[in-house]
Amino acid sequence: METKVAVFGILRFPPENIEDVLPHLERFVRATQENDGCILYEVAEDPFDKGLIRFSEMWPNRESLEKHLQAAHIEPWRKQARKYGLIERVFNSYDISSKPIPV
């Protein structure tokens, strides 16, 4: 079985800026989903922590993740994130080599 890569991360913005961030985030997420070869790319605002955005990603392999990180839509998104006061960014990747086990 080929090893897949899971990524979990967060971005934190000032709560008062989140509504301005969301249209830029939506463009970025749609571009990633349509062009970067991800298996799964989901993003959600935490309903209990205003300004916290959670990311869950699944990539077919590490090479596809690395290609995504160099994609043309990454830097424009990062520029907008800084513009709207990005406070925190934490992302970690994990190699997944087992089959899914329902819980």
Mean pLDDT of 47-52: 97
Give this prediction's pTM: 0.91
pLDDT for residue 1 is more than 80: no
Instruction: Sketch out the chain's domains with CATH numbers.
Output: 4-96 (3.30.70.100)
Dmax (CA) of the chain: 45
pLDDT at 100: 83
Q: What gap in Å lies between CA 77 and CA 75, rounded to an integer?
A: 5
